[in-house]
């Protein structure tokens, strides 16, 4: 009596189909893991942006406070657009503060960007802010990882200063004030190499 069964060719074809299905599942799993990691990285990046912008807004609205006729000499952005400096009076004392988007070099990890607060020694009402000696605080406002692991990740914050007809807090009559434009690099702009939205802060203690 002739016995029925699988031929060697049938077994090889079945094995090939199984391997193709397995490779497809592995590829799908890899894609899902990559998407999950990117989503987590993007969420962390944008969360850091929001936190930094909120703290920056609070600091900026104090710029020029207590200084009579505070103007563009008292709120300065350097040529790179990465450093923003200002003068104000706090607790009866003149202080010079600022923020800067800096590149942090790490030996055993990918380099990253940080937004740090600055404070100047020898603060006075007459010196050009950019000529003072500035020291960063140890704890940054925000840290931004470098998922592309490039040697020089792009700046996350860009600042610009100008005189504008605006109303502080968006309330009241518009007048000429110093206005700060902050352009953060969002996760969407980072992936698409596009430009980010600009957030404008009309400084209430400055009048032009």
Q: Is position 191 within any domain?
A: yes
Residue numbers of the domain that contains 88 = 39-202
Q: Is 168 a domain residue?
A: yes
Given phi > 0 = left and psi -120 to 50 = alpha, else beta, which region is 29? alpha
Q: Report pLDDT for 24.
A: 79
The answer as to whether 69 is a domain residue is yes
Q: With a threshold of 0.85, does the pTM exceed it?
A: no
> What pLDDT shows up at residue 188?
81
The verdict on residue 25 lying in a domain is no
Cα 195 versus chain centre, distance: 13
Total domain count, the chain = 1
Residues of the chain with pLDDT under 50: none
Domain assignment present for residue 8? The answer is no
């Amino acid at each position: 009596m002739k016995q029925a069964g699988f031929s060697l060719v049938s077994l090889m074809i079945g094995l090939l189909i199984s391997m193709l299905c397995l490779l497809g599942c592995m590829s799908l799993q890899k894609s899902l893991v990559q998407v999950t990691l990117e989503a987590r990285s993007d969420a962390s990046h944008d969360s850091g942006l929001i936190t930094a912008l909120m703290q920056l807004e609070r600091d900026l609205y104090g710029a020029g406070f207590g200084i009579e006729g505070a103007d563009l000499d008292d709120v300065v952005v350097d040529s790179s657009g990465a450093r923003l400096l200002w003068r104000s009076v706090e607790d009866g004392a003149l202080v010079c503060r600022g923020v800067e988007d800096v590149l942090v070099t790490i030996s055993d990890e990918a380099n990253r960007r940080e937004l740090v607060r600055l404070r100047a020694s020898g603060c006075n009402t007459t010196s050009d802010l950019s000529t003072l000696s500035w020291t960063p605080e140890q704890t940054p406002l925000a840290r931004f990882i470098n998922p592309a692991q490039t040697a020089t990740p792009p700046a996350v914050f860009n600042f610009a200063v100008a005189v504008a007809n605006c109303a502080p807090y968006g309330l009241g009559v518009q007048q000429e004030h110093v206005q700060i434009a902050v352009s953060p690099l969002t996760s969407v702009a980072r992936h698409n190499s596009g430009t980010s939205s600009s957030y404008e802060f009309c400084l209430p203690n400055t009048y032009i």
